[in-house]
Structure 1
C-alpha cells in the first residue's frame, strides 16, 4: 500500500443481518475517506445455494450476492432500482411454477426486465442463458435441477463463474452491473471454484456437519462410519451431480426449504468450528490473499452482527487471517455485539455472554495461526480491542469490569425495541456515532444523540 494512502476498514460479516448496517459502514468510510472491504464466508449450503452447489459445485455465493446487490447506490435511477429488484428476485416455491417463470425470464418475456436498458439486459441474459444451457446439459434421470425459490442473482453469479472460470471475475462483473463504488470491495473469504463445507463440535461431543445443519434445526450428523449406512451411501452415489462418490450424504442433501423461525436449541454449546473435505476429514485452508492484504492495510477491523459460528468464525479460522488481525498497528478491532443470542450462541439454559463471543473470536483467530490450545484471556485484546453493545431485553450479558481488566474498552448504545418482539435492534444513528467516537472522529456531536452512548 502507498505510504500516502489512508488505511482502510475491514468488516467481517455474513449476509442478511449485516446488510442492515451497510449504510452505517458506508458513512463511516466516507468520514474516514478510506477504502471499505467486506469479507464474506462462502461455506453456506442452504437455500437455493444448496441446489447450485449440488449440481455445479463451487462456493456458497448467496451472501456475496446479497451484499453486492445491497451496495447498489440509492439514488433516483429507475434502472438501478430495477436491477436491484432483478437480482434480489426469487422464483416461486412451487417447482413447476418456478421453472415456467425462469423460462420467461431467460426469454426476456418478464416484467423484471422493464426499465433495464437493452445493453445491460442482453449482457445479463447472455449469462442467464448460459447457466440455463449448463442446467439442461446436466439433466439426468437421477438428478434434475429444482428452481423452487431460486435467487436470480445466485443463478447469474454462478453462470458468470462458469463462463469466466473465476469466482473473482464473476464478482467483478456483478459489481460492475450493480455500480458498486470503487472504494468498496466485497471479498469472499476464500477465492475458489470449489465447494468448502464446515463442521462444528459441541461441548457434549456431538459433531454437526454442514452450515445449514449448524444454523437451523436438523439432525446432528456425526462423522464416524456408524452414522452412515451402506444403503445411504450407495443411494447418494447413484445420483449424478457435482459431488464426488463417497461424499457424506448430509453434504449432498437439498436444503431449499427450511425455516429460520422457532429454532431448536443445540444439545450443548459449540466449542469449535473447522473446515472439512467431502468425506468429513478436517482440512486447513488458506484465506483469499486479498483478504489478508486488506487486513494488513487496515486502520480498523469490525466484526459485524450476524451468526457467530457461521458468519464470522469461518473467515477467521483461515490461514493468514489471525496473524494479520493480531498486528498491534491495527488500533481498533471492534466487535458489534449481537442484540440477542441465537441457536449458535445458546442453548437457552447457558446463553453466550459478551466475553464468550470475544473468546470464540480469539480462539478462531488463534487457530488460524496454528494454535490448538486454549487462548489466555489476556490475549483476547490481540483480536478484540473494543466492544459496542446494546442494553435491553434479550441482549447478551456484558461484564464491563471483567472486560476492562482485559484491556477491552466497552461502549453501550441504546437501541430500540422491536415492536411485538422481546429483543432490541441497533439504532443506525446511535451506532454510527459510537463507531465514530471509537475510531476517533472529531466533530460536532448530534445533541439529540448524546444520550445514546455510555463508554
Structure 2
C-alpha cells in the first residue's frame, strides 16, 4: 500500500506485522508499534515517577529514604551472597519487567472493557488503524451516483482524509420527490457517499437504502433520504445536516455538495431538442451536444474549494458522464480550483457506455466532453479498464445497446492525455453486469499517485 511517502509506508508495514503477534504478550508489544506515539509518553511517565520520588525525598529531608536505601542495601547484599550477581541481577530485572508488564496489561485491559465491551478487537488495533488512515493522503473525489460511492468504499481503506464533492442535480426518484415537495438538496447521492464512508458500511448501507413499500407519502422513499432531509430541517442547513450525519455514523472523511444552490440540469441534443431535468436527459435518447445548468454559474461550497486547495490527489469519476461528473464542473469555482492545482489529477473512465448518454463514445470522447464542460484540461491522466468483460456479459449489455468504452490511442495521443490501463473491474456471475471493483480501483489509483509523487519529488521519496 502506498501512502504519501516511503517512510509512512514502512511505518504502516511495521504496524501491520506486529498485529500478527499472538497472545497477551503480542498485544502488549503492539502498544510499542511505530506511529502510536505511546513510547514517548511512557518514557515521560517514567521521568515523572522519578521526579515525584525525588520531590518527596527532598520534602521529608531524605530521612525515610535513607532508611529505605539502607534496608535495600542490606537485602541486596544478602541476596547477592546467596545467589551470584550473574543470576540475581537478571532475575531481579525479569521480575521488575514482569510487574511492569502485568500492571500495564491489566490497566489497558480495563480500558478496553470500558471502550469496546462487546468487541473482539483490541484498542491498540483500532489505534494502529486510526493512525495509519490519518496519515494517508488528502484525497478529493468529484462525481456522483453509484460510481462515486464505489470508489469511496475502496479509498477509505487507505486514508481518512477523503473529501467527496457530490453533484446536487438529481431530480428523479425519491430524491426528486423530496426536492419538489420539501425543497433543498436532493439527498440520494449524498446518502450513498455517507453510507460508503461509514465504519459500519454494510449495516448503514442496508438501512439507508431501505425503501418503504407502503404508506401514504412514504412508499418509494428510502430511509436515508428521509433521514438527511429530517436532519436538514433540524439543523436549518444542509451543510450542517451532512456534517452531523457523518459524525453520528462515524464517517471516514467528509461528504460535501458541490453547491448549495437549487441546480437544474439541461442538455442540448444533436437533433435540436433542449431537454430539462437530469432524469429526462438520459431518457430522451439523443446524442448530447452540450450540458448546462440553471442558475448558470452556481457558487461553490467554500469547504469544497478549501478541500481542493489542500488535496494531495484529485479524482474525477467514475460515474455517468453528463449527469454525475459534468454537473460538478458546471460550478466555475470548482473548475478553477482544480485547474490551479499541480498535484496528481486523474479521471476514471466508465467501463461500459450508458444508453441515452454516451452511446458510441470512446475514451477520447469522454475527455473531449470534460474539456468542453471545463473550458480547459483539468486532469493529467485517465484510468481505463484494460480487459474486456466476458462474452456472456457483452451479450447481456448488447441487449441494452451498451458496449465497452473503446480505447482510441491515436486520438488520445493527439489530445495529450496520459492513459493508465489496469484491470479494475468486477463482474457479477449471476447478473453478468460489470462494475468497478472498490479494492482494485483504489489500489491502482494509490499506486499511480505514489509513482507520480516519487517522480516529482525524488529527494523526498528516497529519505
TM-score by length of 1: 0.62
Query: Residues 420 and 385 (structure 1 numbering): CA distance in 2 closer, same or farther, change over 3 Å?
Result: same
Partner of 2:336: 323
How many residue pairs match? The answer is 304
Q: How does 1:273-288 map to 2 (within 5 A)?
A: 273-276=291-294, 283-288=296-301
Is residue 2:237 matched to residue 1:166? yes
* d(CA) in 1 for partners of 2:379, 2:145: 21
- Residues 426 and 67 (structure 1 numbering): CA distance in 2 closer, same or farther, change over 3 Å? closer
Output the CA distance in 2 between the equivalents of 1:157 and 1:174. 7
Equivalent residues of 2:330, 2:374 under 8 A apart: yes
2:151 aligned residue: 21
Report the secondary structure of 2:268's partner residue.
strand
Flag the 1:427–1:46 CA change in 2: closer, same or farther, 3 A: closer
Structure 2: how far apart are the matches of 1:52 and 1:412? 40
Matches within 5 A, 1:117-266: 146-181=217-252, 184-192=253-261, 195-215=262-282, 217=283, 266=285
1 CA distance for matches of 2:440 and 2:244?
Answer: 35
Alpha-carbon distance, 1:417 to partner: 4.0
Q: Deviations over 1:286-342 (max 9, x none)?
A: 211221221122222111221111111111110211111112522x22111101010
Provide the secondary structure at the position in 2 that maps to 1:11.
strand
Show the counterpart of 1:307. 320
Q: Specify the alignment match of 2:382 in structure 1.
A: 387
* Equivalent of 2:288 in 270, 283, 289: 270
After superposition, the CA RMSD in angstroms is 2.6
Per the alignment, in what secondary structure is the counterpart of residue 51 of structure 1? helix
Task: Evaluate the alpha carbon distance shift between residue 178 and residue 342 of structure 1 in structure 2; reply closer, same or farther with a 3 A threshold.
Answer: same
Alignment CA distance shift 1:297-1:206 (3 Å): same
Contact 1:333 1:385 in 2 (8 A): yes
Structure-1 residue corresponding to 2:115: none
- 1:298 and 2:311 aligned: yes
Q: Distance in 2 between matches of 1:324 and 1:356?
A: 24
The separation in 2 between residues aligned to 1:22 and 1:188, in whole angstroms, is: 15
CA gap of 1:421–1:404, structure 2 versus 1, over 3 A, is farther
Q: What is the DSSP-based 3-state SS (H/G/I as helix, E as strand, rest coil) of the residue aligned with 2:267?
A: strand
Distance 1:160 1:433, change over 3 A: closer
Runs of 4+ in 1 over 6 A off after TM superposition: none
Q: Is the 8 A contact 2:136 2:159 kept in 1?
A: no
1:359/1:422 CA distance change after superposition, 3 Å? farther
Q: Unaligned stretches of 5+ in structure 2?
A: 1-134, 390-402, 454-463
Number of the residue aligned with 1:335: 347
Q: Does 1:408 align with 2:403?
A: no
The 1:173/1:272 distance shift into structure 2, 3 A limit, reads same
Distance 1:82 1:418 in 2: 21
Distance, in Å, in 2 between the alignment partners of 1:345 and 1:82 is 33
**In structure 2, do the counterparts of structure 1 residues 297 and 179 end up closer, same or farther at CA, with 3 Å as the change threshold?**
same
The verdict on how the C-alpha distance between 1:186 and 1:44 changes in structure 2, with shifts beyond 3 A counting, is same
2:215 aligned counterpart, secondary structure: helix
Q: 1:53 to 1:354 in 2, by over 3 A?
A: same
Does the residue aligned with 2:342 lie in a helix, a strand or coil?
coil
**Counterpart check, 1:440 vs 2:450:** yes
Structure possessing the higher radius of gyration over alpha carbons? 2
Unaligned residue ranges in structure 1 (runs of 5+): 75-79, 100-145, 221-265, 278-282, 367-378, 444-455
Contact conserved, 1:417 with 1:425, CA < 8 A, in 2? yes
**Alpha-carbon contact 1:307-1:344 (below 8 Å) kept:** no
1:110-144 per-residue CA deviation (whole Å, 9 max, x = no partner) reads xxxxxxxxxxxxxxxxxxxxxxxxxxxxxxxxxxx
